[in-house]
């Protein structure tokens, strides 16, 4: 009888422990998903509110005098508002990056506009990177197969160079390049540096367009957002991407020679 009571007490204790562990696991999962959930909720809210419909060149043309007067009268706060807005747009993965970059050139000129955009875009991209890494990295790493692990190892070894290429050449959406490094275990410093440096050429192109936007408006024209793909623009950018890959190519060539000699 005493033995039976002892076994029953042990079972109750084990059940209580299992329930506690399950509750703790669920709480931990929700905490990990919270940052991503906030970003997704913000994205849905932005689309549902219709605010994206107002972010256009027509709206900018109609309000150009108001915007320029605000910048002239509030130089510090206008910079803060622009950078916060840009960082939020990137963090929520809103498809308005090109327009906001051109707006940066229109309001602040080429030099300052490029600086503000690069800083704000890097901050927004880093928010996405940290949220995705916190939420999904452990899960993906636990369930990943050998192929994924090999890709993770190869990417991590040359993270800065690969990030530079992905940022320089506009082959993939900006939001996707924010997510992939987080899931492949790219270090924080490499991500931030690769992003900040890699987006400078493309940013400079669009900000330069914005710097001359007033003249285009006066002619009744709007900028060509596909200008980045014109050979005269894309060719030097691809050249920079090839330069970024030189350390990777050299490392593989050196390792091959070492393997051959041994």
175 within some domain = yes
Q: For residue 58, what are its two tokens?
A: 């027509």
Instruction: Look up residue 130 and give its two tokens.
Output: 């940290």
Task: Give which of 39, 26, 45 is closest to 132, Cα–Cα.
Answer: 39
Which residues neighbour 160 within 8 Å (Cβ) at sequence distance 6 or greater?
190, 193, 194
pLDDT at 5 over 60: no
Least confident of 124-138, 148-162, 171-185: 148-162
Confidence of residue 158 (pLDDT cuts 50, 70, 90): confident
In a domain, 35, yes or no: no
Evaluate whether residue 39 is within a structural domain: no
Q: How many CA atoms lie within 13 A of 82 on its CB side?
A: 28
Helix extents (H) in the chain: 2-49, 57-62, 64-73, 75-91, 97-108, 110-143, 146-157, 159-168, 174-183, 188-198, 200-211, 213-218, 231-261
pLDDT digits (tens, 9 = 90+) for 23-55: 565 666 677 788 888 999 999 999 999 888 888
Higher pLDDT, 164 or 185: 164
Mean pLDDT score of the chain? 84
CB-based burial label for 208 (10 Å; 0-12, 13-18, 19+): middle
**Residue 29 forms part of a structural domain:** no
Residue 25 lies in a domain: no
Q: How confident is the model at residue 254 (pLDDT cuts 50, 70, 90)?
A: confident
Whether 5 maps to a domain, the answer reads no
Let me know if residue 36 belongs to a domain.
no
Q: Let me know if residue 144 belongs to a domain.
A: yes
Q: What is the pTM of this model?
A: 0.82
The number of domains in the chain is 1
User: Residue 88 sits in which domain range?
Assistant: 50-261
Q: Is 185 left (phi over 0), alpha (psi -120 to 50) or beta?
A: left
* pLDDT tens, position by position, 83-100: 999 999 999 999 999 999
Residues in the chain: 262
Tell me the two tokens of residue 24: 């703790």
In sequence order, what DSSP letters do the residues of 119-168 get, joined into one string? HHHHHHHHHHHHHHHHHHHHHHHHH--HHHHHHHHHHHHTHHHHHHHHHH
Please state, in angstroms and as integers, the Cα–Cα distance from residue 146 to each residue in 141, 153, 158, following that order.
10, 10, 19
């Amino acid at each position: 009888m005493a033995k039976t009571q002892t076994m029953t007490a042990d079972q109750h204790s084990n059940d209580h422990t299992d329930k506690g562990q399950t509750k703790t696991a669920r709480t931990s999962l929700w905490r990990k998903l919270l940052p991503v959930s906030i970003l997704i909720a913000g994205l849905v809210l932005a689309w549902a509110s219709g605010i994206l419909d107002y972010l256009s060149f027509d709206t900018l043309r109609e309000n150009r005098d108001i915007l320029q007067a605000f910048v002239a009268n509030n130089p510090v706060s206008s910079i803060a508002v622009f950078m916060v807005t840009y960082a939020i747009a990137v963090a929520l993965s809103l498809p308005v990056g090109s327009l906001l970059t051109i707006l940066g050139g229109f309001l602040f000129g080429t030099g300052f506009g490029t600086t503000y955009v690069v800083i704000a875009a890097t901050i927004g991209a880093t928010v996405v990177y940290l949220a995705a890494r916190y939420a999904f990295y452990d899960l993906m790493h636990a369930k990943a197969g050998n192929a994924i692990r090999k890709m993770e190892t190869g990417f991590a070894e040359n993270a800065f160079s690969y990030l530079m290429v992905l940022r320089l050449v506009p082959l993939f959406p900006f939001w996707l390049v924010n997510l992939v490094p987080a899931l492949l275990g790219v270090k924080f410093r490499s991500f931030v540096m690769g992003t900040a440096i890699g987006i400078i050429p493309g940013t400079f192109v669009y900000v330069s367009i914005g710097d001359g936007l007033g003249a285009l408006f006066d002619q009744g024209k709007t900028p060509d957002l596909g200008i980045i793909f014109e050979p005269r623009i894309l060719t030097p950018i691809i050249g920079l991407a090839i330069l970024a890959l030189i350390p990777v190519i050299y490392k593989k060539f050196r390792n091959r020679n070492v393997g051959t000699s041994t």
